[in-house]
């Protein structure tokens, strides 16, 4: 059920604010109860239908394992010339190319390949060198009031912002005990 959003009216006093906070807490507990009921219903459905679905998935996997080798071996028979798909009365089928993947020989490491490629101007284009700013170190400098960090701030090179958020947390145990 969608609710229409309206511009909220501002709170005018502490009593009204605390009343609204308590209403937030009651609504949050109600929401948590409904979420728990929903999860229970999902679990019951999963328990009921899960084995049936798993059985179907196993049958599908088994049938794919049977037809895949035939389709691969008999592409000329299964597909029209120049195409990689066909159809039956109930389905469409075909072959897709996966994404290309670069591999390396087992006797080399990626670091060794980088060093080797970097030596030759023709293969240097296959090496990527990337520098990045260490944001964690900058935050550490901010927390520790580091002079070098402060000089970066003074020059307008970096800033650190930190937002504040208001939160309301329901005391569910107080509401379960009958206090509503």
90 lies in some domain: yes
**Per-residue pLDDT tens over the stretch 106-156:** 998 998 999 889 898 888 889 888 778 899 999 999 999 999 989 999 999
Full domain range(s) for residue 38 = 14-95
pTM across the whole model: 0.53
Q: Residue 23 pairs with which residues in a beta bridge? A: none
Using a 10 angstrom Cβ sphere, with 0-12 exposed, 13-18 middle and 19 or more buried, the burial of residue 90 is exposed
Encoded tokens for 100: 């290309």
Q: Is residue 126 part of a domain?
A: no
Number of independent structural domains in the chain: 1
139 part of a folded domain: no
Cβ contact 162:142 at 8 Å = no
Is residue 124 domain-resident? no
Closest listed residue to residue 29, CA positions, set 177, 179, 176, 165: 176
Residue 118 lies in a domain: no
Domain for residue 176, yes or no? no
Integer Cα distance of 29 and 160 in angstroms: 36
- Decide if 114 contacts 107 (C-beta within 8 A): no
Q: Which residues pair with 85 in a beta bridge?
A: 94
**For residue 175, is it within any domain?**
no
Spatial separation of the C-alpha atoms in residues 87 and 92, rounded to whole Å: 4
Q: How far apart are the first and last CA of the chain?
A: 25
Stretch 32-50: mean pLDDT, rounded? 96
User: CA 160 from chain center: how many Å?
Assistant: 26
Token readout for 13 is: 């006093």
Q: Compute how many other C-beta atoms are within 10 angstroms of the C-beta atom of residue 141.
A: 19
In a domain, 179, yes or no: no
The secondary structure of residue 93, as a DSSP letter, is E
If you average pLDDT over every residue of the chain, what do you get?
89
pLDDT in tens, 7-19: 888 999 999 999 9
């Amino acid at each position: 059920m969608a609710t229409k959003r309206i511009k909220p009216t501002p709170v005018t006093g502490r009593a009204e604010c605390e009343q609204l906070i308590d209403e937030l807490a009651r609504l949050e507990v109600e929401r948590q109860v409904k979420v728990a009921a929903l999860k229970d219903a999902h679990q019951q459905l999963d328990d009921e239908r899960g084995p049936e679905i798993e059985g179907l998935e196993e049958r599908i996997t088994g049938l794919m394992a049977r037809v895949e080798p035939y389709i691969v071996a008999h592409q000329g028979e299964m597909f029209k010339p120049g195409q990689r798909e066909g159809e039956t009365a109930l389905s469409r089928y075909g072959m897709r190319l996966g994404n290309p993947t670069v591999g390396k020989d087992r006797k080399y490491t990626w670091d060794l390949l980088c060093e080797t490629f970097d030596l030759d101007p023709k293969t240097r284009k296959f090496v990527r060198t990337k520098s990045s700013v260490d944001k964690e170190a900058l935050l550490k400098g901010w927390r520790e009031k580091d002079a070098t960090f402060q000089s970066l701030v003074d020059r307008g090179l970096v800033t650190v912002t930190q937002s504040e958020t208001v939160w309301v947390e329901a005391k569910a145990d107080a509401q379960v005990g009958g206090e509503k």
